[in-house]
Structure 1
């Protein structure tokens, strides 16, 4: 009398309900269970479909919904009459009554959400390092719990096939340069499971892999070969700009070459020589600076000190640590220390940023001083971006004057007129 109420069920599974027919009459009757439409014939199966019932007796048949587990879409039926039972006169096989059977069913697939939906991107990492773990979530938005498993989306190599077997057993999944864990699990309605991924950076290249996720009971049209989920990361070699000398010596004059015997160029503002970098000689030149012969430490003025900033740029996608050094090659007075110094001795430069290193020339004696400057990147292995080096030259000198327009005395000696 209440009909068939399957309730809320999984769309991917068959579901059976018993139906009892009782003969309350004095004579034997026959019955025949039928589906009224072509759609109903695909959705329901009855066992037994027909039979006879003695007076006062009853019989039960099974009504199976989605018998072949081939439902392609969610199905919701409410108080419809897809099924009917015919009551027959057994002698004449004439249909005496047709009883409609009300059917209620709500067949649903598993529903899920992946967060983040567009995959995991580890971004750039220094080569030969392991990333911090990243996670993505599998959230159950449906009515039933579901199992999940994660495998490589495409398997071809023996290593990938072995990794997929380990993943199927619940072990970690190694795919390319990524490690995934856990690879199996069960998620209850309204809850989520977290999957952890780590990335191993190697060399200088971008790594990209696709995971294949199977969610039990999802819509069969939803990625039947597995739900693709992209994970990627980039391995980078740290380095600094070493070729663009216009950038490195942006505060100074950059020339093709230098003639050390040519007249000096002076800045109009303070009448000090212009610092320059010679491309041909790979040499930075402070020019002549007045030596502080009688000065003590801390007692010097701008006349005796030349300061120059060099711009060290990190053009890569990863931060780098740079060590600066100066090695004296010529100190004028062999017993004295080089008056060419630098600060700081090291720097941490974030990606696509720059820092300045300051060179100071403070001669305390007369002579030519020459040092080699080096900026070396920690873990740098690229021959072009690992190191920048150049010579640094300065000349300690004394003030002097030039007398022009002198007159000679009758004896041929120069004389000054008032």
Structure 2
């Protein structure tokens, strides 16, 4: 259906996992920034909708939803400043392929290349690697359609409160484009090891996570073995693809999927075969349905100093979480200065939980998981299922009050507010 304004109009929309139906009466899909500005200016309540990979209602509203999926990617590379500017609704897989074609790279990718750039940045979505910040740390500039339909341009180093605007949770406006740091393209080899020893990994945790450019550990938290370790090594790094064993684990003989029993054919190339960063840093291939689909997700980011203790705590919770799990992933991220980033001020590990699609059962165990991880200052991923409200989240973020004040200045009438933000950010 096409509206009088020329934008696509849809109703009765669901998120990617199918666990929630959006409350919005309509989803509009402008094809130009000018159309987007008109939509924002004319709405009383509005939220931006990314690739729908959030598992909670962060992107929902009782007003209008707006998707930027039909805006042209508008990928522009500036080799002088080593940046690339792209429209907010563009998916990382699309951007990565074009950058690789031109000989450039992003510093990292999330496990799924299917997610939108603006949505991933707004929620501080991440890949892995001890020295790698989350995806939002690459943002050098952004353009925001504000509540009155105007354009606000912000640049790192030039704009006051820029670090508060990047991980904006959609509370400040609609991000129409972003400028990202880029670097020369680089090849990567990916090797999977199976059945690692928990004891060896925890005794040598720093060595494990620094053994490649990006390292992921997959487990169900049960028993004394870790199911898989995925090592993504830049080819100039020594040893990543040449190991005969890895902390008690052996190289996989064929392509693996993180979830047991699922074909590895949908995953990016493994087995130590070199290839472009754009085809290795994500876990899943752009041309296939990502991950498993019928699942739910939660994730908690824990300061690196508490990594081993937090992991041991999760192992002790196995009787609670394992029966509901498809798989869990452990990753690492570098510290940043973005106000609402779960990595603000601290190197972190991510404790990711991919749940079976039983939302009542999952929501029933989340308080126990969060209580157990609370002594470590665990911060939940903004786009996934978690229980904590604003009163518990605020003490975890030194700039929490500053972000609320920034939102009040940019959106004084609360046009971009919704139930999720009222509960998780603006509530008492």
Judge same fold: TM > 0.5, yes or no: no
More helix by share: 2
Shorter-chain TM-score category? Answer: under 0.3
| TM-score, L = length of structure 1 | 0.19
More strand by share: 1
| TM-score, L = length of structure 2 | 0.19
